[in-house]
Amino acid sequence: MIYNISKKTKFLISVLIFLISCENNSEPVNCLDVIINVADQKGRYNDKVFTGTCNAFSVSGNLLEKRKFKKGVMSGEQIGYYESGATRYLGNKKKGEIHGSYIGYHENGNKQAEGRFKMGYYDGKWLFYDENGKLTETKTYLRGKEIK
């Protein structure tokens, strides 16, 4: 018996097989289980390139970071926490580098710093605050170097 399968059907089957074969964890895993391969610097979980979220914990078991990976590289929103559970920072990574908006917090919940990163470097206007939330300093950066 010979089946006549259209190119469109073959393409859709190929895409479906690819998507099924990709490791995409909807539930967060422990970051200790995501192994970074030295050769290609990609995170792997269960011997597959990791896409998903992992959680990093302190020695006492408290959540310290939520890290997102895409195709084995940290990408997307990254969240850090103090041992107390208070948010330490909200940031982003792109291709493994800190990139995009960033807000750092004092443990009491007040802002500590606010600005943007561009591929790992401070970029643009940054605001710095004391523990009471009072603006203490404003700096401007270009590719990580202070210009104002």
Query: Which tens digit of pLDDT belongs to each residue from 2-46?
Result: 556 666 655 555 544 444 444 455 678 998 999 888 778 889 999
Q: Which of 89, 55, 58, 95 is nearest to 74 (CA)?
A: 95
Is 15 within a domain?
A: no
CATH classification of the domain holding 72: 2.20.110
User: Using H for helix, E for strand and C for coil, what is the string for 2-23?
Assistant: CCCCCHHHHHHHHHHHHHHHCC
Is 75 within a domain?
A: yes
Is 22 within a domain?
A: no
Q: Between 138 and 41, whose confidence is greater?
A: 138
Specify the amino acid at residue 69: F
Is 82 within a domain?
A: yes
pTM of the predicted protein model: 0.76
Burial environment of residue 43 by CB neighbours within 10 A (0 to 12, 13 to 18, 19 or more): buried
For the cut 70, the answer to whether the pLDDT of residue 121 exceeds it is yes
Q: How far is CA 88 from the centre of its chain?
A: 14
In which domain, by residue range, is 97 found?
28-146
Is 39 within a domain?
A: yes
Q: What pLDDT sits at residue 38? A: 75
Domain count, the chain: 1
Q: How far apart are CA 78 and CA 2, in angstroms?
A: 52
Q: How far apart are CA 29 and CA 26, in angstroms?
A: 9
